[in-house]
Amino acid sequence: MAEQFDAIIIGAGIIGASVGLELARRGWRTLNVDRLPAAGYGSTSASCAIIRSHYSTLDGTALAFEGYQYWRHWVEHLGVADERGLARFEEVGCAVMKTLSNGYLKSICENLDTLGILWEDWDNETLKKRLPIYDLRCFAPAKLPDDPGFGEATGLAIAGAAFMPQAGYISDPQLATHNIQIAAEAAGARFQFNTDVIKIHQADGAVRGVILANGDEIEAPVVVNVGGPHSAKVNEMAGVADAMKIKTRALRQEVVHLPSPDGFDYMTHGPVASDSDIACYSRPEVGNYILFGSEDPECDAREWADPDNYNTEFTAQWQTQALRAGQRVPGLKIPNQAAGVVSLYDVTDDWIPIYDCSDLPGFYMAIGSSGNQFKNAPVAGAMMAELISRCQDGHDHDADPVRFDYLYTKRQANIGFFSRNREINPNSSFTVLG
């Protein structure tokens, strides 16, 4: 006889584990299945794990600020000890450069003001005092290194920055996921690793469970796709992809680790930073390194990938990002040996995630979240648990979107904002910034 659960969650990354935790706390018998050997072992482990609240949309900003509260109250959120210790939230703040391409942060700062999120207006004198390693000249638009104008200033100076003190990064994203797994298991959840789902079992027009690669069948009236870069393949398996207006794809990314310039302790004094003038974001990295990721400028070709067959080695993109970073931080020493991370994002058409039900009763999705949703995992798990519970009780989410009350900020989210059937949101940055 097939084993039975109330819900099967495909994926045990930071969001999948959070969905399992929140459903288990509601008394559901849950099982997270993951093809990898441990929780948070896939794209979560490669996450830059940045915690910030500035987003292009008010809904995205509100979700992120609620997510920030969970990290501040991490011990209380978990409610249990983990023998491996707890992930640390390094609250170093976030400085965002004011540039022409981001409208000098006017709309973003309006979102922050609307939600009462603290921010400071830094002029260039303040910016230079806080980050003396910076060259504040303009270099936009971003170019490829073989462009004749690469590295040449295109303006006297950027227009300062907005600094959000309520921001930072998580020291160990995989440990954070293990923390959630332990909390979920304490609530009765189960996890099964090295387990590959090959079929979404259906009967009478609804989900009935999953079939595994070893032939085992596990029964459940609810299956949740939190498959990260594999989300599109899971949706195809369920037969729901064609009916969705918003789709997901796996996007290959390279993240660069470079030593901080001599004489500057970036681990102590460096904030998270976002700099669309050079198309890089950054944060401190262990060993007094600086991590640089790409903000996906137009001149860079996006490399859509098969998550089961992609290049895991560094390419010329690594050097491109390192050289772009060197425009802002000219004291950077770029080593001959590449260091950093090569991984995949799970990206929607407008870079806003899908937290939704589907046209297949019992099949739900928390997808398109890679790149900028790690920070929101705890609240996304709670939001998905509310959505799933309401829909399983008969609520028509497509006709009347479920509302979700945020625990900390006391706002109410319209989960329909994250619908699979929304129109592409024109207010998105259409990049990893969200």
Question: What per-residue confidence (pLDDT) applies to 349?
Answer: 94
Peptide bond connecting 141 to the previous residue in cis, omega within 30 degrees of 0: yes
Question: What per-residue confidence (pLDDT) applies to 427?
Answer: 83
Q: Could you state, in order of their start, the residue ranges of all structural domains in the chain?
A: 3-85+172-247+350-418, 94-165+248-348
Question: Which architecture, in CATH terms, is 3-85+172-247+350-418?
Answer: 3-Layer(bba) Sandwich (3.50)
Question: Which architecture, in CATH terms, is 94-165+248-348?
Answer: 2-Layer Sandwich (3.30)
Write the burial class of residue 58 (CB in 10 Å: 0-12 exposed, 13-18 middle, 19+ buried): middle
Write the burial class of residue 410 (CB in 10 Å: 0-12 exposed, 13-18 middle, 19+ buried): exposed
Question: What per-residue confidence (pLDDT) applies to 1?
Answer: 61
Helix axes 377-392, 14-25, angle to 10 degrees: 50
Distance CA 98, CA 121 (A): 10
Per-residue pLDDT of the chain (434 residues; tens, 9 = 90+): 678 999 999 999 999 999 999 999 999 999 999 999 999 999 999 999 999 999 999 999 999 999 999 999 999 999 999 999 999 999 999 999 999 999 999 999 999 999 999 999 999 999 999 999 999 999 999 999 999 999 999 999 999 999 999 999 999 999 999 999 999 999 999 999 999 999 999 999 999 999 999 999 999 999 999 999 999 999 999 999 999 999 999 999 999 999 999 999 999 999 999 999 999 999 999 999 999 999 999 999 999 999 999 999 999 999 999 999 999 999 998 999 999 999 999 999 999 999 999 999 999 999 998 778 999 999 999 999 999 999 999 999 999 999 999 999 999 999 999 999 999 988 888 877 77
Tokens of 231: 């989300």
